Structure 1
């Protein structure tokens, strides 16, 4: 799989997708169906390659906000079995969540302290917790644990580099102002 260019220098989602995603046309078409691109306030992208028993698999993700919603496009290479036949497939989805359902939002920055005492951005972590219940566990007749949907995103020196860390930081700040 060829290495993508960095998306972070591009502030338009279309240009960023074309240089970073393997399937930019699909992503842009599916996103265009739920959001008008001029209304996008901030976005970031990620991708991850894994080795599966059947070969390399790519996961791609675009996360954006228009100030009212969190919109996530995700595509994953997978293996499907139908009629006894295995075939490689691409599962792509768009998910839309109202920002009003986000109950907690944590934007963490980690800085490395260099020998001369200066600080260098080393990692950015964004955590979002919603009130959307994904499962529950009844502990007793009167006590139940509820588990809510959460989203976790990380960028670091080794995972995206400085420009992508700064863009995730920007996204988290835009989200903070919108919640």
Structure 2
């Protein structure tokens, strides 16, 4: 699969999608049905390749907020599993989560300390935990473990570079002000 251009220099979600995503028109059409692009206060993008039994599969993701919701568009290459003739599929979904359901938000920065004592940004991690239950496990008659939905985003020098790390920092700060 071809190397995409970096999305981080673009402030327009449409422009960023067109240079970074393999399926930008699909993403933009599905996102436009939920949000007016001028109201988007911040966004991030990610993509990656996984090796499946049937070959390389691409996943793509756009995460955005307009101050009230976290909207996640994700597309994954899949292989049909319905017993008929095997065929490759693109499964795309859009998820909307009210920011009011986010209960914990952690924005972590990691710096390399250089020999002259200066610091260089090396990694940015954003973790969000919600009150949305994904599963439970009963430990005893009176004790139950609850597992809540969480989201994790990481950008590093080698995975996205400085511009994407800075955009993840911006996204995390926008979310902090919106919660």
TM-score by structure 2 length? 0.99
Structure 2: which 5+ runs fail to align? none
In structure 2, distance between residues paired with 1:83 and 1:127: 38
Secondary structure at the residue paired with 1:85? coil
TM-score by structure 1 length? 0.99
2:152 is aligned with 1:152: yes
1:83 Cα deviation from its structure 2 partner: 4.1
Q: Deviations over 1:97-143 (max 9, x none)?
A: 00000000000000000111100000000000000000000111111
Q: What is the root-mean-square deviation of aligned Cα atoms in Å?
A: 0.6
Q: Specify the alignment match of 1:87 in structure 2.
A: 87
Structure 1: which 5+ runs fail to align? none
2:5 is aligned with 1:2: no
Secondary structure at the residue paired with 1:45? strand
In structure 1, distance between residues paired with 2:121 and 2:37: 30
1:147 Cα deviation from its structure 2 partner: 0.4
In structure 1, distance between residues paired with 2:131 and 2:81: 35
Number of residue equivalences: 179
2:63 is aligned with 1:68: no
| 4+ residue runs over 4 A deviation | none
In structure 2, distance between residues paired with 1:83 and 1:142: 43
Q: Specify the alignment match of 1:100 in structure 2.
A: 100
2:28 is aligned with 1:28: yes
